[in-house]
Structure 1
Amino acid sequence: MLAHTSSEAPIRFEVSFKEPQAHYVEVKMDIVGVKGDYMDVKMPVWAPGSYLIREFSKNVEGFVASDAEEKPLNSKKVSKNTWRVFAKGAKNVQIRYRVYAFEVSVRTSFVDAAHAFLSPTGIFMFVDGQLNRSAQVTIHPYQGWNKVSTGLELAADKAFTYVAPDFDVLFDSPIEVGNQDIFTFTAVGVLHEVAMVGGGNYDKEKLSRDMATIVEQATAIYGENPNKRYVFIVHNYQSGGGGLEHLNSTVLGASRFAYGTASGYRSFLSLVAHEYFHLWNIKRLRPEALGPFDYDQENYTTDLWIGEGFTAYYDNLLVKRAGLNSEEGYLQDLASDIAAVENRPGNHVQSLSESSFDAWIKYYRPDENSMNSMVSYYNKGALMALLIDLKIRHASKGTKSLDEVMREAYRIFYKEKKEGYSDQAFKELAEKVSGVVLDDIYAWVNTANSPDYETYLNKVGLTLTNLNEGYVIPDIGIKTTTGEGKLLIQQVVRGSGAWNGGINVKDELIAINGYRIETSGKELDRILQSSEIGDKLNVLVARDGVLKELTIEVGANNNGKYVIEPLSNATKEQQAWKENWLAAK
């Protein structure tokens, strides 16, 4: 008979670090009120917010079970992430295991002699069928470590002990342990803690002021902030990036010395804005597949273009509204998104809804052909949000916007119905709130085509220009890299001369038209610059040690270089709508 447990008793964890220099976490798990012959204990296989099966159980070692008197209990592994413990009548079960933690990312745990970052889905196990059970976590910092940063609530009676009402909250609360540099600020009545790890040339006063302004702008969209306390865990590396959203915290990756440059600082603020906007969009207002979570397998949705793409639209917009970027700078950010989508052949192969659904097998597993076969639900999703916003603003003569849609969707789906939305339900709500039919934009979501950006930008007095239009740039469609003194093919562009002529990724490029190509690629550039469209090139490559001669036709490089600028004949209405769009709220 499968064991079950009392719903009133919390599962207690103790976390310690005997060998942090070897990257290990020691975990003790106490389960009380056990009834039945056996119980299954599981480790999640993925981390919500990062849509890839990561098999966290691969890092588990030394799993052992005992009763309250520490008498051994039999256990065996019955699936890749499940351990079966035979209770033999024991009412209390104690489990111990170790986790190897040495992967640098915002979604995986990392431990060394300096600090420990615990990503909960890769650290804490759960009793099968008991995700709704409360949990308590006691951290035993390694010698010399004296700080813990986490969104978990601190227990009233124990140092470094934290509580979670259920395992969804526990799994959504990363933990930083060490000697991180902590500063705080208050915005919209919410205390915000910033835990800086790894040093850097950041200015705490400036960050406090600017991050607070971003918080205010994000909260203004939704009309309320759902937290009393929020934690930023920032890992500063020589070169870093990325972020992962959580219920009342986030983990950010940053470059420790990028704070001192204008572009690096704005990039960090955009990351802050992105993850903070997720407080509402994804963590509360969410697609129906993303909660309650199934931690054993993929949770598919076609709506990541809304959850992530809309958030990617608002991140740079919030920085602009906060007064931390110029109008010109913001418009260039939008132009960069257009270039990222339009210069990617995969834009005409994969739709946004397909990109969302296939995130589990494609987005986090890029390869040399990804640019030819995929489109990002971040970039293109952001552009769909832009088009929806501009269409609503124009149709309503500036009285409504995407802001109102997001606010109402949050109220209806999260607060009132307490459920996720389907693709159709979100579209119907957006159309009801805005009074605008969105069939044209949804057609671009569900097909692999390029949107008509110009028509929508014109609605707020802007125009899109491709600076490369009219220029013929000879190209054969390859990207190269150097390795072991060789010039190697790194990418081949779909439909290019290299694609049609049979050049392969990993080929060594040796000569063109009888002339040796050196590893710097200067000779390749010279040949292309002196070529005409339609010329045939005799290309010598080495493939797996075999020399091959290929005939490659020179084509044109069709990549665009885009800028967004004000229309010279913009009306006063168009200018007013643009100013309202970009202004602080």
Structure 2
Amino acid sequence: MSDSVQIRLDLTQPASQTVWVHMEWTPQWNRQILQLPVWTPGSYTVRDHAQHLHSLRLSNGSTVQKVRRLSPSRWLCELTTLEPVTLSYAIESRDLTVRTGLLDPDFASLSLASVAMEIEGFRWMPHHLEVSAPSHWQVHLPLESSVKGWLAPDFDALIDTPLHAGSFAVEPFTVHGHRHELLLIGAPPFGWPESIISDIERVCQATCDLMGTPPPAGDRYQLVLQLLEKGYGGLEHDHSAVLQFNWSALASKKGYRQLLQLVGHEYLHQWNVRRLRPVELRPYNYSQPVICEGLWFAEGITSYYDLFLPLWAGCTDQTMLLEDFGEELSSVLMSPGRSIQSLSMSAEEAWVKLYKATPASRDTQISYYRLGAAVAFCLDVRLRSFGSSLPVLLRHLWSFFGEQRRGFCRDDLHLWLSSVDSGLPAELDHWLDDTNAIPLEHSAGLIGLRLESVQQQTPHHGLSLKLSAGDLVVQRVMKNSPGMRANLVVGDEILAINGFRVRCIEAVADLMRNCSEVQVSFVRRGLMKETLLQPETAIESWRLDFDPQASSNQLALREQWFKTF
């Protein structure tokens, strides 16, 4: 077809860990520009997928054409005729993450954003996909089937599609009358929880109840769960989500709860961010970073509700919710970065900070996932005090923007908030743009909850340490801590405390116990040095709990908060 692109992926040599890509199309003009996306939607940092590409070859009819590189991920070819074009190249696939790709003799897991080229002028044209795989493998894609493979209505739909191939279990489940698939890759040594399918169904059903609609993906939704020795994360798609979870965590009740929260998080993204999208991301620009303050809403609101979904599904209780949400709020309260970086700035700097964080980053930045969830909490409580709620706002935005495939911005939030109370837009701006702005303790108090500090049991020195080749090395020095006042810096090797050799992290705190001042012997750039450090007491964390003195009005508002409306 002259108005479509044909793509074939060759996975038949999995031991090579190389995917061969063959693309064919009929050009409409002589100048052809090809581009591999530099980032994967849902993961807001430049991935430079082109680093894994080699053996690029383009032929026009029977003639091999010269291809000139315009940038690391962009190529130009000046054709001599408008005969059909064949493009081939190889992608090294050795990275098992939800945003890149892996091919090995066990299975394939590919984010097609790291594999498929965009042909200029063909972005909104159909893309036909064929996959050649080992004969004993099954190939799974959440695309519509076609005669020889699968059909994506356009390039966006193609690269939004995760590809999985291999021999693994496929379990059907139903949400709101719509049939979904659960792909289980790997297995825990102690077996899967007996109720996992029904629990996932109920969490997904609770998500639909929150949004007040059936799943936007309809019958074509694929949930992929990769169970690994180590790993945690997920990536959302229009018709799918790919999750990674470690089997050791699955063995505990809390770990299983975290898995259900992860399922709910990615399932909710069907609405929030995939279809209800900040205006800066409509449409996606695959060639460069896209500055988008709306990421706080996309991830913060979703992170807030992923804690509630297992409760609404009947898989947890209110006490467990407070425990989990308390840990989220504690992370915010214990982060020095919240006094440096505002929530809107955290979202705008995602490309250069969140995904490139170092141990020292906590002192100057804060995650828009966690701070966004904290702002969602304050906004939800504030709205409920006026007789509305955050779910009502979400459903409004879905109706006016998500279903219409229109991008939204802060002004659209202002417009709706001002219909509830004229002062709410200014409050939201304060929480988004100013540091240390969110009234967490006040918001908790409004619904009969209290935030309580937990004192650290060991002496506080403010040093994060790691063992590196047998050496005890400073990895982070907390801002305004005893370690900083003692002039210790990242990279210093700690040798002794008060003359006693230390070879493990625990020994440092043990030797500081009951001491008002200690002598620290350390090495910096090969030179022996000493300093005096004065340990102190400090808050270790915060916890969220019921307030036994809550009034009847606070109790009533709290019961509303535990529910959707």
* TM-score normalized by the length of structure 1: 0.92
Work out which of the residue numbers 484, 503, 521 in structure 1 matches 2:488: 503
**Is 1:580 paired with 2:563?**
no
Q: 2:279: which partner in 1?
A: 288
> 5 Å matches for 1:152-301?
152-155=143-146, 157-158=147-148, 161-200=149-188, 201=190, 203=192, 206-224=195-213, 225-228=215-218, 229-301=220-292
Q: 1:344: which partner in 2?
A: 335
> What does the per-residue CA deviation read over 1:369-423, in whole Å, with 9 as the maximum and x for residues that have no partner?
1011111101111011011111111221xxx21100000011112234x321122
* Cα distance change on mapping 1:433 and 1:234 into 2, 3 Å: farther
Work out which of the residue numbers 539, 543, 546 in structure 2 matches 1:563: 543
Root-mean-square deviation (CA, aligned residues, Å) is: 2.0
Q: 2:130: which partner in 1?
A: 138
Q: CA deviation at 1:304?
A: 1.3
* Cα distance change on mapping 1:433 and 1:204 into 2, 3 Å: farther
Q: 2:400: which partner in 1?
A: 412
Q: CA deviation at 1:557?
A: 4.4
* Cα distance change on mapping 1:19 and 1:559 into 2, 3 Å: farther
C-alpha separation in 2, matches of 1:255 and 1:223: 32
Q: CA deviation at 1:438?
A: 4.6
Q: Which secondary structure state, in structure 2, belongs to the residue aligned with residue 113 of structure 1? A: coil
C-alpha separation in 2, matches of 1:501 and 1:571: 47
Asked if the contact 2:5–2:122 (Cα under 8 Å) also holds between the matched residues in 1, the reply is: no
Asked if the contact 2:23–2:88 (Cα under 8 Å) also holds between the matched residues in 1, the reply is: yes
Which of 334-343 and 521-530 deviates more?
521-530
**Is 1:98 paired with 2:90?**
yes
Q: 2:528: which partner in 1?
A: 547
Q: Which secondary structure state, in structure 2, belongs to the residue aligned with residue 27 of structure 1? A: strand
C-alpha separation in 2, matches of 1:318 and 1:381: 17
Which of 355-364 and 163-172 deviates more?
163-172
* Cα distance change on mapping 1:325 and 1:526 into 2, 3 Å: same
C-alpha separation in 1, matches of 2:401 and 2:56: 41
**Is 1:119 paired with 2:111?**
yes
Q: 1:3: which partner in 2?
A: none
What amino acid is the match of 1:439?
A: A
Q: Which secondary structure state, in structure 2, belongs to the residue aligned with residue 299 of structure 1? A: coil
Q: 1:57: which partner in 2?
A: 50
Q: CA deviation at 1:129?
A: 3.5
Q: 1:517: which partner in 2?
A: 501
> What does the per-residue CA deviation read over 1:143-180, in whole Å, with 9 as the maximum and x for residues that have no partner?
421x122221111x23xx11111111111111101112
C-alpha separation in 1, matches of 2:399 and 2:420: 12
Asked if the contact 2:21–2:89 (Cα under 8 Å) also holds between the matched residues in 1, the reply is: yes
Q: 1:333: which partner in 2?
A: 324
Q: Percent identity?
A: 27
Q: CA deviation at 1:347?
A: 1.3
Work out which of the residue numbers 9, 20, 30 in structure 1 matches 2:3: 9
What amino acid is the match of 1:539?
A: V
Q: 1:465: which partner in 2?
A: 452
Q: CA deviation at 1:582?
A: 1.8
What amino acid is the match of 1:361?
A: V
Which of 357-366 and 297-306 deviates more?
297-306
Work out which of the residue numbers 464, 475, 480 in structure 2 matches 1:490: 475
> What does the per-residue CA deviation read over 1:444-493, in whole Å, with 9 as the maximum and x for residues that have no partner?
3211215322221122221221132xx89642210111122221111110
Work out which of the residue numbers 40, 43, 57 in structure 1 matches 2:33: 40
Structure 1 residues not aligned, in runs of 5+: 1-5
Q: CA deviation at 1:302?
A: 1.2
* Cα distance change on mapping 1:298 and 1:129 into 2, 3 Å: farther
What amino acid is the match of 2:532?
A: T
Asked if the contact 2:33–2:77 (Cα under 8 Å) also holds between the matched residues in 1, the reply is: yes
Q: Which secondary structure state, in structure 2, belongs to the residue aligned with residue 296 of structure 1? A: coil
Asked if the contact 1:12–1:135 (Cα under 8 Å) also holds between the matched residues in 2, the reply is: yes
* Cα distance change on mapping 1:212 and 1:433 into 2, 3 Å: farther
Q: Which secondary structure state, in structure 2, belongs to the residue aligned with residue 539 of structure 1? A: strand
Q: CA deviation at 1:539?
A: 2.0
* Cα distance change on mapping 1:311 and 1:289 into 2, 3 Å: same
C-alpha separation in 2, matches of 1:36 and 1:374: 48
C-alpha separation in 1, matches of 2:434 and 2:191: 43
* Cα distance change on mapping 1:102 and 1:433 into 2, 3 Å: farther
**Is 1:19 paired with 2:13?**
yes
Asked if the contact 1:310–1:381 (Cα under 8 Å) also holds between the matched residues in 2, the reply is: yes
**Is 1:367 paired with 2:358?**
yes
C-alpha separation in 2, matches of 1:129 and 1:519: 61
What amino acid is the match of 2:33?
A: D
C-alpha separation in 2, matches of 1:516 and 1:283: 56
* Cα distance change on mapping 1:494 and 1:562 into 2, 3 Å: same
Q: CA deviation at 1:498?
A: 1.6
* Cα distance change on mapping 1:584 and 1:456 into 2, 3 Å: closer
Q: CA deviation at 1:18?
A: 4.1
Q: Which secondary structure state, in structure 1, belongs to the residue aligned with residue 398 of structure 2? A: helix
Q: 2:466: which partner in 1?
A: 481
What amino acid is the match of 1:49?
A: G
C-alpha separation in 2, matches of 1:357 and 1:522: 38
Asked if the contact 2:466–2:505 (Cα under 8 Å) also holds between the matched residues in 1, the reply is: no
* Cα distance change on mapping 1:581 and 1:11 into 2, 3 Å: same
C-alpha separation in 2, matches of 1:373 and 1:430: 31
Matched residue count: 562
Structure 2 residues not aligned, in runs of 5+: none
Asked if the contact 1:388–1:438 (Cα under 8 Å) also holds between the matched residues in 2, the reply is: no
Q: Runs of at least 4 residues of structure 1 off by over 6 A?
A: none
Asked if the contact 1:339–1:561 (Cα under 8 Å) also holds between the matched residues in 2, the reply is: yes
What amino acid is the match of 2:501?
A: I
* TM-score normalized by the length of structure 2: 0.95
